[in-house]
């Protein structure tokens, strides 16, 4: 298989969701760290790959793709011939898509933002991000009461897309202590063959 290149930052949860899925699929990418803290993502060379100036970007031969969830869809369609990670059946695919939207909506506004403030010093409203995280986690905890996976009977890219920022929520001072079903689901993801963690940071006080 020709080398797949992954442009990422090691502390970016959006990058990690792609790294995690590549690892589960058994694909070893060539990893290229982008110095986001010093603005490398805003330089012309990177903007040619993603005009929105964000990691991750995946390059598979001549195909250059941005946006973590879009990349997960691509990888699932191209490299999972069994079609379990992103089912093709209409209703099953819609359930997965629903949770991709949650990953790019309330997860981004809640736990990802709370962590961005602590880890990268973003000047954003921490209390609001923490509040939004708990509102989301209460719903997810109930959703997971009778389920092992977010969508359907098997792990899908819905689980991959939502995993990282939920697992790392305590780094943004969002405790997972009140959400036993979410913690059980995180453990289920961590038991998937090929799982790799994202490096943790010392910020955050919440357990």
Ligand X SMILES: N[C@@H](CCC(=O)N[C@@H](CS)C(=O)NCC(=O)O)C(=O)O
Which positions lie near ligand X, rule CB under 6 A? 9, 12-14, 36, 41, 53-56, 67-69, 104
Task: State the nearest-atom distance from the C-beta of 55 to ligand X, in Å.
Answer: 4
Nearer to ligand X, 6 or 140 (CB): 6
Task: State the nearest-atom distance from the C-beta of 69 to ligand X, in Å.
Answer: 6
Sign of the four-CA dihedral 96, 98, 104, 107: negative
Nearer to ligand X, 12 or 133 (CB): 12
Task: State the nearest-atom distance from the C-beta of 145 to ligand X, in Å.
Answer: 28
Task: State the nearest-atom distance from the C-beta of 67 to ligand X, in Å.
Answer: 4
Sign of the four-CA dihedral 101, 106, 109, 115: negative
CA atoms within 13 A on the CB side of 182: 23
Nearer to ligand X, 16 or 87 (CB): 16
Task: State the nearest-atom distance from the C-beta of 110 to ligand X, in Å.
Answer: 14
Give the DSSP letter string of 36-85: GGGTGGGSHHHHTT-TT--S-EEEETTEEEESHHHHHHHHHHHH-TT--S
Nearer to ligand X, 56 or 87 (CB): 56
**Do you know the residue count of the chain?**
207
107, 136 Cβ separation under 8 angstroms? yes
């Amino acid at each position: 298989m020709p080398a797949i290149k992954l442009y990422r930052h090691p502390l970016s949860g959006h990058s990690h969701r792609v790294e995690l899925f590549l690892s589960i699929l058994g694909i070893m990418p060539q990893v290229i760290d982008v110095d986001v803290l010093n603005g490398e993502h805003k330089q012309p060379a990177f903007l040619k790959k993603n005009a929105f100036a964000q990691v991750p970007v995946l390059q598979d031969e001549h195909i250059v793709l941005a946006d973590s969830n879009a990349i997960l869809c691509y990888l699932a369609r191209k490299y999972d011939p069994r079609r379990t990670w992103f089912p093709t059946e209409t209703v099953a695919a819609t359930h997965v898509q629903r949770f991709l939207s949650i990953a790019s909506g309330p997860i981004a506004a809640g736990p990802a933002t709370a962590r961005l403030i602590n880890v990268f010093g973003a000047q954003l409203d921490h209390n609001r991000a923490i509040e939004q995280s708990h509102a989301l986690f209460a719903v997810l905890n109930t959703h997971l009461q009778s389920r092992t996976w977010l969508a359907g009977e098997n792990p899908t890219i819905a689980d991959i897309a939502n995993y990282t920022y939920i697992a790392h929520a305590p780094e943004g001072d969002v405790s997972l202590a009140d959400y036993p079903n979410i913690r059980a689901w995180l453990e289920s993801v961590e038991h998937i063959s090929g799982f790799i963690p994202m490096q943790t940071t010392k910020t955050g006080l919440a357990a």
